[in-house]
Amino acid sequence: MAVASCGGHRMQLERICRELKHRYDIIYVGSDVSASTSLSLPLAMPKEYIVEDFSRQNFWKMIPVAMSIARIIRKERPEAVITTGAAPGLIAVVVGRLMGLKTIWIDSIANAAELSGSGRMARYIAGHVFTQWHHLAGDKVEYKGNVMGI
């Protein structure tokens, strides 16, 4: 199950899924159904679910989002959750871990100076946490390169 908010998070996840789709059936969970048609790298996802996006300013939305993600996991039975963020991705990692799934957080390449707030939390929750900047690796965060190839 691949989870990302719209915009850059989705674009990075699509680049990752482009390589994974040959080996895995991918279920996409995102915050904007029109996002895939507006990006330069559209990736048709066979199964796509939409959840509401939220942030610190409207954190109360996390409970319905968590419930939606739990329903999707129960229905689809994925082996793992992979996300590039942001808030819905963090909730997917939490719910996925609680439901016994493998979880992978890839912090957005936009976070060059420090891990994102969600990424800092994810390093204590996700099974694997990756940064796309070598100088941010350490303390449960790995660097294996970046998605964008820069």
| 40 CA to centre of own chain | 19
Digit-coded pLDDT (tens) for 100-109: 999 999 999 8
Q: In what order do the strands lie in the sheet with 80-85?
A: 47-50, 27-30, 2-4, 80-85, 102-106, 128-131, 142-143
Tell me the mean pLDDT in the region 63-75.
97
Tell me the mean pLDDT in the region 37-58.
71
DSSP letter at 143? Answer: E
Token pair listed for 132: 């796309």
pTM: 0.88
Give the pLDDT confidence score for residue 13 in this predicted structure: 93
